Structure 1
């Protein structure tokens, strides 16, 4: 009788750790402002995101990372740049690190997929901003 209760207790404790994995973020996503497409893909055991292409007119030679806080990186091209890294499942979504070449800020990223929408919340200190991207072909 005690053995049965012990098995039931072990099963009860184990169930929360078997939570379903969050929806995949893999694929190509158009930014909310329509300025670019970001490709999310595995990088090792985690997920990463790169700017696949820019949909805006670029200066000759390509758009550069001019606002990066690291002056040595201000000459690198934005197209192809990795802007998300170390993304891991976290509850019903993903968490990791992000970078915005538009304002040169690094932030903690929280992503969640619902259908063909990817919602991202980026926080620097206590200040957060949320955007929603749409999946593309």
Structure 2
């Protein structure tokens, strides 16, 4: 028969292990994906670019246009502010992602391939067999 204080010590150890396991699993779940943050897009066909904020949207990642810039790099008004530019995006490993990307200059949504390398993001996409190179985006923060 276990002495009462020994039984309490075993119960406390089990409790401490359970709390540690919960904290570790929560920490892993709360770790930000490297794609999260603010990205400056490459210039489009019109010479315009944008600032995209990438954040989780459910189990996927989405990127919303938060600022638009004209060909001279000056901030400008755009009807696309607040629009999801990246959607349904999931990591594939090795800095690769797939999902969808909307191109404001062409008004089309492409099936996207994103490849991240450090603070650079190579963006490309295809729709109905027509593919487009979206250039390299640069991570701002």
What is the TM-score with the length of structure 2 in the denominator?
0.64
- Deviation beyond 2 Å, 4+ runs, structure 1: none
Partner in structure 1 of residue 42 of structure 2: 32
Quick check: which has more Rg, 1 or 2?
A: 2
For the aligned residues, what is the CA RMSD?
1.7
Which string of whole-angstrom CA distances, capped at 9 and with x for unpartnered residues, describes residues 47-104 of structure 1? 001101112264xxx42xxxxxxxxxxxxx2111111111012243111112112111
Structure with the bigger percentage of helix: 2
Partner in structure 2 of residue 133 of structure 1: 137
Q: Which runs of 5+ in 2 are unaligned?
A: 1-32
Q: Which runs of 5+ in 1 are unaligned?
A: 1-22, 64-76
What is the TM-score with the length of structure 1 in the denominator?
0.65
User: What is the count of residue pairs matched by the alignment?
Assistant: 99
Partner in structure 1 of residue 68 of structure 2: 54
Aligned equivalent of 2:103, options 100, 103, 117: 100
CA distance in 2 between counterparts of 1:30 and 1:105 reads 19
Larger relative contact order, structure 1 or 2 (CA cutoff 8 Å, min sep 6): 1
